[in-house]
Structures are given as structure tokens and as C-alpha cells.
């Protein structure tokens, strides 16, 4: 038996107005190389200036994660040669990060630091041949975009836990408004460090690193594949080699990007052109005051009325949580049913939309769920009407067509079921109580589900004197 050990490194593009060390606006798919200046293009003699808003966001993230804020940290140059970096180094933080030693849920945060993003290489392939060779072009719009890197301790023990942690962190950052946190567009980028060790062993095994997964589902599958691979290696008496891997979600295969021997030596040295980062009390207070209620706290609050799984699901999806709270405000008598309806029925009907992108009013939703909870509307009929309601349906019509058969109407239907099912009636009278199912079934078919099962049973027994 082996125990997986996972630590996560997350890069987050900050949603600041301008870049990390120059006044260029951030880019959202503009024409290539239109969001550049001498600083982010690394012309000779230019000087970087630290973006105060990026520091503010960095502090917010550190505080949200319960980190210690360094009274004084500095930037370093991380040297490497590649066309995505015109300076041939990245300005990052090294031995003293802005924030360290926090926690999110059960996972300890090792550090949070500020740095800058690289340019984007576009591989033009054979259509972009220059002198007969395939070529790549560089778009410097992304170069210098503020990044925060968040590094966890190796506290995760399964692929599912890692994905769950990633979703919580994403929800937290989204709620704070410090980033778009869009994995497909690359504003949230996740690397997973994976090792396995024999159960009971306390020393860590050799880790490999899975680069840049672009969805949490792929992250989970990639980690699962890598855990399985390492377990096979160890079970066959081999040793895991330290390397960086790419997971292909289509084929499910892992390929090596680079081995330990090819690891870079970045020759970090202090950035001489920037002053140290020394946040004042006022800066820290301002960052603290800018923090909204975060998903973890919201989940705890929801848990007073809901089971933990349900509470977390609603709290991690800010818009769903908002919808739940708005519905609850309209009718607070059925929190659990509301939450169940949102998670079990609404979520499916939404597809990849958020509730706010549909025509469903939270108060109308609360009214329908209340009618179902009070057994005045049929769950099946409301469920069937949901997709229409999201488009532009009328709630009055749904209420009319889903209202539960009761009183004389239901009495008449039960009478007919009794008349049409002499066999079952005989059996019930002879004491075979299960036979009542056939009668209830007949009533349900007749009402198309618009009847309360308990009430139908009660009526049948009453009428049969059973
Ligand atoms: P590196 O120097 O290779 O970047 P770090 O010690 O900085 O390694 O850790 C990077 C990430 O890898 C962190 O998230 C950390 O929790 C995780 N990590 C470190 N060692 C292991 C291990 N043996 N197994 C799994 N994850 C690990
Ligand atoms: Mg590292
Ligand atoms: Zn610039």
C-alpha cells in the first residue's frame, strides 16, 4: 500500500489596471504587441517601478490565507534565456517572500510571493516558415503582467483533495476580485507536485511535477495517472526519478518535459533597481478591510443550516451561494430543501450558465420549492418545468400545472384506482399490505405524479378500512 503526497503551486494573474513594473494596461486579447513600453520590452536604461495595486492584492491574498506578512522583502532576478523574457530574467521573490506560513482549509500555505508574467510565444508552425524553418512569434502584451505565486506544503493526500483545494482557492480569489481565475485562459495556472511513499513511512518520496493543468478535472486525472505510474514503478522495484511531466488529457498519457539533470540554475540575485517591499501598517489595514466574507467562512455559516457537502458546494460557487441567499431571503422556511433543489436540479438545468444569466428569479424559485415542501406542488412537475423557467417561463403557469391533486379530485382518482384494481384490493384486505403499492402506482400514473404518496396511501387505507 502506498500513500500519495501532493503539494500545489499556483500562479495567479492579478486583475490590476497596469503591469507589475510599468504603466502598460493589462491585455485581454488585443492585437499582439500593442500593450508594451520600453520597460516591459527591456530597452536599455529603463527602470521598473513596483505596482502598488499589485502589492495591495498580494497583501489581501496573504491575509485571506492567514499568512505572516514580511515587514521587509526584496525582489530578485531569476535569470534564464528564452524568447518569452526580453530581459533574460524574471523579477520574482526568492528567499524572503511577501507572505509566508498560512492555511486554507486543512492545507498549510508555505508562501505567497509577487512576480511578473512572461510574454506569450505563438508557434506559427509550417505556415510561418522563415528561411524554410518553422517559426514562432512573440506577443509581449502579457509580458510583465502581475503574478502572485501561492505554494502549499505537501499536505494533500489524493487527487480529489488536490482538486477540491484548487476549487476552494479559486473561489476564494474570485470572491476577493483580485483575479479572473480562469484556468482555460491562463489567469489561474496550477502545477502539482506528486510523490508516493509506503503507508506508514514519514519521510517524503521523490516528487515529480505536473505542469500547467488547464482545468481541475484534468488536474485530478493527471495526478491520478501520476500516482498510479509511481506506484507501478515502486512495486516493480524501481525508483521514481525527479522530473517535470506533461499530462495529455486526451490520451491520458504522461510525457517527460525535463529531468533533474536538465533543471535550471537561475542564479538568483537581488534586483538592484527596486527598493525593498516594506508594507506599512496602513497598507496592511487597508488590505484587511478590503476582504469580503470568504467562501470558507461562508461555508461555515451555511453549515448551521445545511450538511457540510451542500454548504461547501454553495459557498464555493459564489453565484450559486448568492442565489441561495436571495431565495432564502424571500422564504427562509425551507433552507435544506432550497439547497437540495439548487444543487440537485437547478445546477443541472443551468449547464454552464450562472443563475444570474437566466430569467429565474430567486424569490420565484423559493416559492416553488416552498410549495413542493408543503406538498402543494408536485416535485416531478416542478422539476420538468425548470428548464423552461430559466428561459422565460411563467411561474404562475408552473404553479397551475404542478399543483398537487388533493381533496375531491384526489378522492375520485383513488376511488377509480380501487375500482380498477380488484386483485390488489383483495390482497390488501387479505392482509398483504405490499399490494397497496399497485394502487398508489395507479394513482400516480393517473395524476402524472402530481400527488403526495403518503396522502394517497392514507386515503386508500381509509377507503378500504384497512
Ligand atoms: P522545488 O525546490 O522543487 O520547487 P519546493 O520544496 O519548493 O520544491 O516545493 C515545491 C512544491 O512541491 C510545494 O508545493 C511542496 O509542498 C511540494 N513538495 C515538496 N516536496 C514534495 C514531495 N516529496 N512530494 C510531494 N510534494 C512535494
Ligand atoms: Mg518551487
Ligand atoms: Zn510596459
C-alpha cell recorded at residue 119: 510574454
C-alpha cell recorded at residue 147: 503574478
The pair phi, psi for residue 8, each rounded to 5°, is -120, 140
Centroid of ligand 3 to alpha carbon of 75 (angstroms): 18
Distance in angstroms (rounded) separating the CA atoms of residues 247 and 222: 6
Atom from ligand 1 closest to the CA of residue 195: 24
Task: Give the β-pairing of 99-104 and 89-92.
Answer: unpaired
Atom from ligand 1 closest to the CA of residue 152: 14
| Residue 257 pLDDT | 92
Judge contact between 249 and 222, C-beta under 8 A.
yes
| Residue 431 pLDDT | 84
Residue 406 has pLDDT above 80, yes or no: no
Nearest CA to ligand 1 atom 17: 7
Q: Which ligand is nearest to the CA of 209?
A: 1
| Residue 412 pLDDT | 87
| Residue 375 pLDDT | 82
**Bridge-partner residues for 74, per DSSP?**
none
Instruction: Give the binding-site residues of ligand 1, using a 6 Å CB cut-off.
Output: 5-9, 151-154, 193-195, 204-205, 207
Please compute the mean of the pLDDT values over residues 201-230 and round it to a whole number. Answer: 95
Q: Which ligand is nearest to the CA of 48?
A: 3
Long-range residue pairs from 95-98, CB within 8 A, at least 24 positions apart, any chain:
96/70, 96/72, 97/70, 97/73, 98/55, 98/58, 98/59, 98/62, 98/69, 98/70, 98/73, 98/277, 98/279
C-alpha cell recorded at residue 365: 424559485
- From 6, 7, 65, 192, mutation site for ligand 1 pocket: most ligand atoms within 8 A of C-beta: 7
Residue 405 has pLDDT above 80, yes or no: no
- From 102, 108, 154, mutation site for ligand 1 pocket: most ligand atoms within 8 A of C-beta: 154
Distance in angstroms (rounded) separating the CA atoms of residues 438 and 448: 15
Judge contact between 78 and 268, C-beta under 8 A.
yes
Residue 449 has pLDDT above 80, yes or no: no
| Residue 452 pLDDT | 79
Nearest CA to ligand 1 atom 13: 7
Residue in the block written with cell 513600453: 37
Residue in the block written with cell 454552464: 352
Percent of the chain with pLDDT over 70: 99
Centroid of ligand 2 to alpha carbon of 262 (angstroms): 15
Please compute the mean of the pLDDT values over residues 143-158 and round it to a whole number. Answer: 98
Residues bordering ligand 3, an ion, CB closer than 5 Å = 22, 24, 37, 39-40
| Residue 322 pLDDT | 94
Centroid of ligand 3 to alpha carbon of 37 (angstroms): 4
Centroid of ligand 1 to alpha carbon of 57 (angstroms): 25
Best CA proximity match to 189, nearest among 149, 246, 155: 149
Centroid of ligand 2 to alpha carbon of 212 (angstroms): 14
- For residue range 67-83, list pLDDT tens digits in order: 999 999 999 999 999 99
Lowest-confidence pick of 2-6, 23-27, 59-63, 357-361: 357-361
| Residue 457 pLDDT | 87
User: Does the global pTM surpass 0.85?
Assistant: no
How sure is the predictor about 377, in pLDDT bands with cuts at 50, 70 and 90? confident
| Residue 131 pLDDT | 79
Distance in angstroms (rounded) separating the CA atoms of residues 36 and 59: 27
Residue 444 has pLDDT above 80, yes or no: yes
Q: Which ligand is nearest to the CA of 111?
A: 1
The domain defined by 407-464 carries CATH number 3.30.56.10: no
Centroid of ligand 3 to alpha carbon of 34 (angstroms): 10
Q: Which ligand is nearest to the CA of 34?
A: 3
| Residue 408 pLDDT | 80
- For residue range 78-133, list pLDDT tens digits in order: 999 999 999 999 999 999 999 999 999 999 999 999 999 999 998 877 676 777 78
Residue 12 has pLDDT above 80, yes or no: yes
Please compute the mean of the pLDDT values over residues 403-415 and round it to a whole number. Answer: 82
Centroid of ligand 2 to alpha carbon of 291 (angstroms): 28
- For residue range 42-55, list pLDDT tens digits in order: 999 999 999 999 99
Residue 323 has pLDDT above 90, yes or no: yes
Atom from ligand 1 closest to the CA of residue 205: 23
Q: Which ligand is nearest to the CA of 116?
A: 3
Domain boundaries, the chain: 2-287, 293-402, 407-464
Centroid of ligand 2 to alpha carbon of 115 (angstroms): 13
Distance in angstroms (rounded) separating the CA atoms of residues 28 and 225: 34
How sure is the predictor about 264, in pLDDT bands with cuts at 50, 70 and 90? confident
For the chain, give percent helix, strand, coil, nearest 5.
40, 20, 35
Judge contact between 248 and 255, C-beta under 8 A.
yes
Please compute the mean of the pLDDT values over residues 261-277 and round it to a whole number. Answer: 92
How sure is the predictor about 230, in pLDDT bands with cuts at 50, 70 and 90? very high
| Residue 83 pLDDT | 94
Amino acid at each position: 500500500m502506498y500513500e500519495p503526497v501532493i503539494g500545489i503551486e499556483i500562479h495567479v494573474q492579478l486583475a490590476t489596471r497596469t503591469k507589475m513594473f510599468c504603466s502598460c494596461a493589462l491585455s485581454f486579447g488585443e492585437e499582439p504587441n500593442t500593450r508594451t513600453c520600453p520597460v516591459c520590452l527591456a530597452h536599455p536604461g529603463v527602470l521598473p517601478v513596483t505596482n502598488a495595486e499589485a502589492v495591495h492584492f498580494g497583501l489581501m491574498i496573504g491575509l485571506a490565507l492567514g499568512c505572516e506578512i514580511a515587514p521587509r522583502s526584496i525582489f530578485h532576478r531569476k535569470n534564464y534565456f528564452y524568447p518569452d523574457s526580453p530581459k533574460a530574467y524574471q523579477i520574482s521573490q526568492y528567499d524572503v517572500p511577501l507572505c509566508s506560513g498560512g492555511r486554507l482549509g486543512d492545507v498549510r500555505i508555505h508562501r505567497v510571493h509577487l512576480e511578473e508574467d512572461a510574454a506569450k510565444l505563438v508557434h506559427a508552425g509550417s505556415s510561418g516558415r522563415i528561411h524554410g524553418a518553422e517559426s514562432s512569434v512573440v506577443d509581449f502584451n502579457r509580458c510583465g503582467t502581475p503574478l502572485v505565486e501561492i505554494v502549499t506544503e505537501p499536505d494533500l493526500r489524493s487527487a480529489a483533495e488536490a482538486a477540491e483545494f484548487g476549487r476552494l482557492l479559486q473561489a476564494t480569489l474570485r470572491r476577493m476580485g483580485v483575479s479572473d481565475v480562469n484556468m482555460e485562459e491562463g489567469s489561474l495556472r496550477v502545477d502539482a507536485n506528486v510523490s508516493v511513499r509506503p503507508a506508514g513511512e514519514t519521510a517524503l518520496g521523490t516528487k515529480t511535477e505536473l505542469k500547467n493543468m488547464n482545468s481541475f478535472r484534468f488536474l485530478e486525472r493527471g495526478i491520478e495517472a501520476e500516482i498510479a505510474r509511481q506506484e507501478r514503478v515502486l512495486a516493480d522495484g524501481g525508483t521514481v526519478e525527479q522530473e517535470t511531466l506533461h499530462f495529455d488529457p486526451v490520451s491520458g498519457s504522461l510525457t517527460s518535459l525535463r529531468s533533474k539533470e536538465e533543471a535550471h540554475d537561475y542564479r538568483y540575485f537581488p534586483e538592484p533597481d527596486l527598493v525593498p517591499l516594506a508594507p506599512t501598517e496602513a497598507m496592511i489595514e487597508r488590505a484587511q478591510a478590503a476582504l469580503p466574507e470568504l467562501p470558507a467562512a461562508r461555508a461555515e455559516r451555511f453549515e448551521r443550516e445545511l450538511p457540510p457537502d451542500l454548504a461547501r458546494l454553495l459557498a464555493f460557487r459564489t453565484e450559486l451561494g448568492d442565489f441561495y441567499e436571495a431565495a432564502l431571503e424571500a422564504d427562509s422556511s425551507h433552507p435544506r430543501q432550497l439547497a437540495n433543489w439548487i444543487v440537485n436540479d437547478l445546477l443541472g438545468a443551468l449547464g454552464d450558465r450562472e443563475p444570474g444569466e437566466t430569467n429565474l428569479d430567486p424569490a420565484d424559485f423559493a416559492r416553488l420549492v416552498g410549495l413542493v415542501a408543503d406538498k402543494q406542488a408536485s416535485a416531478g412537475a416542478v422539476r420538468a418545468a425548470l428548464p423552461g423557467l430559466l428561459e422565460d417561463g411563467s411561474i404562475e403557469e408552473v404553479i397551475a400545472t404542478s399543483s398537487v391533486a388533493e381533496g375531491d379530485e384526489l378522492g375520485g382518482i383513488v376511488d377509480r384506482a380501487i375500482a380498477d384494481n380488484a386483485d390488489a384490493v383483495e390482497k390488501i384486505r387479505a392482509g398483504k399490505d405490499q399490494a397497496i403499492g399497485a394502487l398508489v402506482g395507479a394513482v400516480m400514473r393517473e395524476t402524472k405524479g402530481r400527488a403526495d404518496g403518503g396522502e394517497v396511501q392514507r386515503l386508500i387505507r381509509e377507503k378500504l378500512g384497512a
